[in-house]
Amino acid sequence: MPDGRVPGAGPGDVALCSSTMTELTARLAPDRLTADRAAALIDSWELVLRAERKSPRTIKVYGDGLRRYLLWCAEQGAGPMDRISLNQWVAGLLDQGAAAGTAGMRKLAVRRFTGWLIVEGRLPADPFHGMTAPKVDQPVVDPLTDDELRALIRACARPLTEPARTSPSTIAATRRSSGSCSKPASESAKSSHSRPGTST
């Protein structure tokens, strides 16, 4: 029809349809999802994570990261589903001294939440598609010095079955402490045989 009405629909039906479309558009538009509205959905998202048998630690880490991000967005008046907002937040974490792994995990929490919003039909597409985690620096290990290498080679070349060398003084001290140095075992046996009335 010229006015775009559905045939057989009355004025009330047209108004209801218009209201429904307006609500649906607001629900699907990323710029309409404010930080407060997103925060109200965290409990529902965490329930899904529990149903998926995510570990309590994972749920806590994800929830903490998302809440921090949404709080920052509310304070800055920034839209949470905006690439610039997420980049600014992550860059701020790194500038404040956060480790790349920590910043990356919090960014991942936001990405996981966004994926759930898409599945639930609250977002038409992923606004953060193609964004990557912060680069994690590999630890630098100092090479061994020449002296350390020679010591390591000597240690590796030593036979594992090589008997330990014990000095005579150490043996004597051990015998004195145990009281076994008074008489050798052979002399003790001879004296026991020589005693009268001693049974063999």
181 phi and psi, to 5 degrees?
A: -90, 0
pTM for the full predicted model: 0.58
Closest Cα to residue 114, out of 198, 33, 170? 33
Closest Cα to residue 127, out of 80, 174, 180? 80
Q: How far apart are the first and last CA of the chain?
A: 128
- Residue 140: the pLDDT is 66
Closest Cα to residue 59, out of 115, 136, 114, 112? 112
Segment 109-166, tens digit of pLDDT = 999 999 999 999 999 999 999 999 898 877 667 777 878 777 888 788 766 665 555 5
Structural domains in the chain?
33-135 (1.10.150)
Which token pair is 114? 């966004």
CA gap 174, 133 in Å, rounded: 63
Segment 10-48, tens digit of pLDDT = 555 444 445 444 444 445 566 688 999 999 999 999 999
- Average pLDDT for the chain: 77
Closest Cα to residue 88, out of 107, 101, 64? 107
Taking 80 as the threshold, does the pLDDT of residue 61 lie above it? yes
Which token pair is 12? 């009330």
